[in-house]
Amino acid sequence: MGWEKTEFEGLWVFQPKVFGDDRGYFFESFNQKNAPEEIRNIQFVQDNEAKSSYGVLRGLHYQLPPFSQSKLVRVVVGEVLDVVADIRPNSATYGKSFSLLLTENLKNQMFVPKGFAHGYVVLSETAIFAYKCDEYYTPEAEAGLRFNDDVLKINWTIPTDDMLLSDRDKNWPDFRNHKIFKRD
């Protein structure tokens, strides 16, 4: 339990300690003083929540500097496959992806640092997805990657025919043609 590093620099998985009894449960979804040092000083400025049905795929999204965002993501209801792709050109994991099953039962979370494209697909009948951001949403800085890119080779775990994507998400460029992300 607690915070666990991944092979991707700055990308963390968090499994909170959940206290439950016949009345329900309690857990701290975020406690700054218990976070890893590199996350401790982040100031989250915006909380977002999205409700979606089975097969909805949102992503892969990111914002260009100086508006790039770090995110702390989790599922409140349901189950999603959460996916990130490292788009930091100087990173040892540049062009690689990482996925994690986030569920309401596990209450697990992922901290996604700046320099990653992020997306998820809903695996349950419905899901409520919540996340904190350390930078405000800025439409003119919005960018993305094609969900079925042949470099990233993401296994979304559901048939493509079951996926529901916005027109915007269907038309992001592939990895070879994305807007280059440069560190802030």
Does a structural domain hold residue 156? yes
Q: Is residue 13 part of a domain?
A: no
Q: Which domain holds residue 64?
A: 44-177
Q: At 168, which CATH number?
A: 2.60.120.10
What count of other Cβ atoms lies within 10 Å of the Cβ of residue 129? 22
Q: 0.75 exceeded by the pTM? A: yes
Active-site residues, by number, are 61, 131
The answer to the question of residue 113 being in a domain is yes
Q: Is residue 33 part of a domain?
A: no
C-alpha to C-alpha distance for 157 and 55, rounded to whole angstroms = 10
Is 119 among the domain residues?
Answer: yes
Residue 52 in any domain: the answer is yes
- Residue 169 sits at φ, ψ, to 5 deg, of -70, -25
Q: What's the domain count of the chain?
A: 1
**Residue 178, pLDDT score:** 79
pLDDT tens, the chain, 184 aa long: 699 999 999 999 999 999 999 999 999 999 999 999 999 999 999 999 999 999 999 999 999 999 999 999 999 999 999 999 999 999 999 999 999 999 999 999 999 999 999 999 999 999 999 999 999 999 999 999 999 999 999 999 999 999 999 999 999 999 988 777 555 4
DSSP for 114-180, please give it: TTEEEEEEE-SSEEEEEEEESS---GGGEEE--TT-TTT----SS-GGG-B--HHHHTPPPGGGSPP
Determine, yes or no, domain membership for 28: no
